[in-house]
């Protein structure tokens, strides 16, 4: 056994994937923080973890797009699912340079607690620096979230309504364009 160096420490290898800032959503506020970070880090799994969809939750995820997006994109005539969320986000991430983040800014956030649910409303500005010159990169509007705590005490968004508030495209239109 002398000289075979079986028990010596080796140099650590750098991680294959960057570390995530995702935190277990033990409060409803953490869900919003996780949402912002998941977009910035372009991490689809963390983004989906902000939305209701596991076996410990009683409610299914519901997305209500802006009226303008419904009229422009036939996909919204069907029920929008977590699978749709995953597909649109992966399509966007594929068109963004690796080192460039998606930025989400939430302003005028209002939080209301009602029983076992929390309601959030906020104005948002979303910047998606993709490389498709024929599609917009800036989106804004108002979002309304309803969050619920599951049987494991983790919070998630079970209802999301998007409202267009200006001539700038809304988040719903981003989803429609990149679906």
Spell out the domains of the chain, with CATH numbers in brackets. Answer: 28-178 (3.10.450.50)
For the whole model, what pTM was predicted? 0.87
Dist CA 122 CA 83 (whole Å)? 25
Q: Which token pair is 146?
A: 């309803």
Nearest to 129 by CA among 34, 20, 39: 39
Q: At what angle do helices 171-178 and 82-93 cross, to 10 degrees?
A: 80
Q: What is the mean pLDDT of each run of 10 residues along the chain (179 residues)?
A: 60 63 95 98 96 74 97 95 97 95 98 93 98 95 95 93 98 97
């Amino acid at each position: 056994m002398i000289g075979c160096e079986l028990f010596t420490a080796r140099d650590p290898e750098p991680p294959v994937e960057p570390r995530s800032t995702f935190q277990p959503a033990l409060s409803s506020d953490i869900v919003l923080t996780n949402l912002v970070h998941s977009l910035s880090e372009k991490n689809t799994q963390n983004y989906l973890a902000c939305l209701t969809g596991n076996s410990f939750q009683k409610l299914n995820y519901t997305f209500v797009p802006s009226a303008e997006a419904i009229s422009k994109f036939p996909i919204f005539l069907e029920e929008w699912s977590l699978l749709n969320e995953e597909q649109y986000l992966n399509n966007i991430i594929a068109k963004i340079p690796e080192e460039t983040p998606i930025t989400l800014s939430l302003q005028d956030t209002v939080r209301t607690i009602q029983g076992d649910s929390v309601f959030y409303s906020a104005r948002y500005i979303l910047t998606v620096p993709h490389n498709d010159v024929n599609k917009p990169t800036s989106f804004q509007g108002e979002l309304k979230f309803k969050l619920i705590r599951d049987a494991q005490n983790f919070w998630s968004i079970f209802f999301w309504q998007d409202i267009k508030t200006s001539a700038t495209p809304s988040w719903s239109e981003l989803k429609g364009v990149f679906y």
